[in-house]
Amino acid sequence: MAAASSALIAADVGNTRVKLGYFDGTLDASGLPVCGSRFAISVNACADLGPVKRWLDETGAGSEPRVVVSDVNPAVTRDLTRAWKEQLGTKPEQIRRPDPQILENRTDHPARTGPDRLFNAVAANVLRPKAKPAIIIDAGTATTIDLVAADGAFEGGAILPGFALSAQALQSYTALLPLVASDDVTDSRPNPLGRNTRDAIRSGLYWGGVGAVIELVRRISIELDDQPAIYLTGGAAPRLVPYVAQARHLPTFALQGMVLTSRRSAGTREESNCGD
């Protein structure tokens, strides 16, 4: 029963940015929590939450809404939690990896899977057609390409450096290569044939990143009985959309998965407290 629950702020702490979403408790037609407003800050900007306060005021979330925070970057999560309590008056609740009742995780070490990958999978389980597998591409600091099986289990996938991280690595670990800004890598369609160093890097990062994603989707799909649903999220997702056939772009997928996980975890606790 999709009863309207109270407002919730979800904070997905990544390795580059903290993504924030305001959820008023409603669900869309497919059953995903509706993100009424979103905002992002750099992971280096957690000391002063003034911009977050102004965003919260605009959302109409009330003065002290419940906040859940995820954990792929523990040091930043700690700083954000402390600053939020001091500056905004509420203590964010850390949201753990989904329990096995919410998401079966078939990887070798379920406790080590990045929670963001698992929250994406929880959201995919709501969105995908019944009995169809799903592949989720999350193009953030790292790019992940993960499989949710037809029965709903998280099966693992692939992790590779994202566009900006690859650009930084080329500069940091070579003597002669310059830093190509990540917007240069992601905002245009470079000529594959670069005739100078910068253009060659732009080409390699852009088409290499696109090609890696296409090849991984293809290889992960080979063993599947059915064509997978394909979902794309993360900061660089808009650049990949044109090249990944049939992909659906979902900018707030991990946040939506966090909200689903938080509400289901609360439901599970209430049920077990009732004892019936």
Ligand X SMILES: Nc1ncnc2c1ncn2[C@@H]1O[C@H](COP(=O)(O)OP(=O)(O)OP(=O)(O)O)[C@@H](O)[C@H]1O
Ligand Y SMILES: CC(C)(CO)[C@@H](O)C(=O)NCCC(=O)O
What's the CA gap between 178 and 172, in Å, rounded?
A: 9
Binding mask 215-234 for ligand X (x = CB under 6 A): -------------------x
Catalytic residue list: 116
Binding string, residues 28-57; x marks residues near K ion by CB under 5 A: ------------------------------
Position 159 contacts ligand Y (CB under 6 A): yes
In eight-state DSSP terms, residue 100 is T
- Measured from the CB atom, is 122 or 236 closer to ligand X? 236
Beta pairing partners, 11: 20, 69
CA–CA separation, 181 and 109 (whole Å): 35
Q: Does 262 bind ligand Y (CB under 6 A)?
A: no
Number of residues that bind ligand Y (CB under 6 A): 11
What mask of x and - would describe binding to ligand X in positions 97 to 126, judged by CB under 6 A? Answer: -------------------x----------
Establish if 265 lies at the interface with ligand X (CB under 6 A): no
116 binds K ion (CB under 5 A): yes
Question: Smaller CB distance to ligand X: residue 17 or 128?
Answer: 17
Give the integer Cα–Cα distance in Å for 59 and 47: 21
**How many C-beta atoms lie closer than 10 Å to residue 42's C-beta?**
10
Q: How far apart are CA 115 and CA 70, in angstroms?
A: 7
The distance of closest approach from Cβ of residue 235 to K ion in the complex, given in angstroms and rounded to an integer, is 8
The answer to the question of residue 17 lying near ligand X (CB under 6 A) is yes
117 binds ligand Y (CB under 6 A): yes
Note whether 253 binds ligand X by CB under 6 A: no
Tell me whether residue 88 or residue 127 sits nearer to K ion (CB atom).
127
Contact at 8 Å (CB) between 31 and 100? no
- From CA 276, how far away is CA 266, in angstroms rounded? 16
Stretch that binds ligand Y, among 112-120, 186-194, 239-247, 255-263 (CB under 6 A): 112-120
Beta carbon of residue 270, minimum distance to K ion (angstroms, whole number): 30
Contact 89, 31 (CB under 8 A): no
Q: Which of 31, 24, 35, 38 is nearest to 2 (CA)?
A: 31
Q: Which of 140, 152, 162, 257 binds K ion (CB under 5 A)?
A: 140
Provide the annotated binding site for ATP.
12-19, 141
Using rule CB under 6 A, residue 112 touches ligand Y: yes
Of 259, 267, 232, 266, nearest to 33 (Cα)? 259
Hey, what are 258's tokens? 């966090």
Tokens matching residue 112: 């080590």
Cα 80 to Cα 75: distance, rounded to the nearest angstrom = 9
Instruction: Kindly state the smallest distance separating residue 241's Cβ from ligand Y, in Å.
Output: 19
Which amino acid, one-letter code, is at 149? A
Place of tokens 């009985």: 225
Give the β-pairing of 93-94 and 66-69: parallel
**Interaction site with ligand Y (CB under 6 A):** 15, 72, 112-114, 116-117, 140, 142, 144, 159
Binding site for K ion (CB under 5 A): 14, 116, 138, 140
Contacting positions for ligand X (CB under 6 A): 14-17, 19, 116, 139-142, 162-164, 182, 186-187, 234-236, 239
